[in-house]
A = this chain, B = another copy of it.
């Protein structure tokens, strides 16, 4: 590895995914942060906004319109959904991009418009974007200039079902994803629904049947199964900061057993550093991946004949956002894929 470090910028650095990028990159030996942008907080030191990282030497946050793109080789874009298309379309060609927003995740402009209520503003650029679920699209990511980093919810379920749909072990028309998420998935902007007193000591479903991650999940599963897929995706908001657990209920094809499902997943991910398949019958906890880039999955027999249950967990801010973004950067730059990401989970 050369001594010249890759110069990295973070757009929208004052949110939780921005802070996570800084935390991870702090120990990434082949890169250096040269640009941080924020909107309302421009001019303030990063360590004032995130005191837990105040000891790290970082550039002051500036407004995005004041960015000098010649100072960066690659940017992580953590801007709000909807504002990203024009920013990325306007970047000079030498800048590689990992986009953590939802703006380039849906590859069919009609689907984008249906779910986001506006025409996509960078449809040409969309054509060259690569979907960044690293374990599933690694070869394309190697050559990409712009990578759309997956949504937090779509990551574990695609990892779980893609191999099973590809090998026809489960049916594509009877998929139920009951998801439970920590609150950071909703970002750092103050809203009543994410206040402590509204979230602690309880749980509720939200966006049932209409969450914007549903079409992203369906797109990925359609790629795997070879035809259109419609899923039940039911997210729930939990009193925890980080973590997503997905209980995935599927129907197996004739002759397939739950043990076969576990074996197929174990085989598929045997060499993956960040995906671990637990022994048959054992299920994971979100606590066991907190702060790390791991996805853990367990497979359990269902009492209903012909059915199987897969339980998958991740940290929504790491593998579900900033960790996978760094993983994608590593792949795009030809660096060791685990660089900066060898962080142990924090339990308890």
Contact = CB atoms under 8 A, between A and B. Distances in A.
Interface of A: 16, 19, 23, 26-27, 50-56, 173-176, 178, 180, 182-184, 188, 190-192, 194-206, 208-209, 214, 230-234, 236, 238-243, 245, 247, 249, 276, 283-292, 294, 298, 300-305, 307, 309, 311, 342-348
A206 to B, nearest CB: 8
Nearest to A22: B344
Given A51-B285, A204-B283, A236-B180, A230 B303 contact: yes
A285 B238 CA distance: 11
Contacts of A292: 52
Contacts of A198: 196, 287, 348
Contacts of A176: 176, 249, 304
Contacts of A183: 195-197
Contacts of A305: 230
Nearest to A258: B209
- Copies of this chain per assembly: 4
Given A202-B290, A291-B291, A245 B240 contact: no
A286 B311 CA distance: 23
A192 B188 contact: yes
Contact of A348 (B231, B242, B304, B346): B242
Contacts of A194: 190, 195-197
Contacts of A290: 52, 201-202, 346
Contacts of A241: 196-197, 200-201, 348
A209 B300 contact: yes
A7 B130 CA distance: 46
Given A52-B290, A52-B347, 6 more contacts: A19-B347, A23-B344, A208-B300, A208-B311, A234-B247, A290-B346
A286 B196 contact: no
A149 to B, nearest CB: 20
A17 to B, nearest CB: 12
Contact of A245 (B23, B205, B300, B347): B205
Contact of A200 (B26, B239, B342): B239
Contacts of A342: 27
25 contacts: A23-B344, A23-B346, A51-B285, A51-B288, A52-B289, A175-B304, A176-B304, A180-B203, A180-B236, A182-B201, A188-B197, A197-B348, A200-B240, A201-B290, A202-B290, A203-B245, A204-B245, A205-B247, A205-B300, A209-B309, A230-B303, A230-B304, A234-B247, A234-B309, A290-B346
Contacts of A276: 54-55
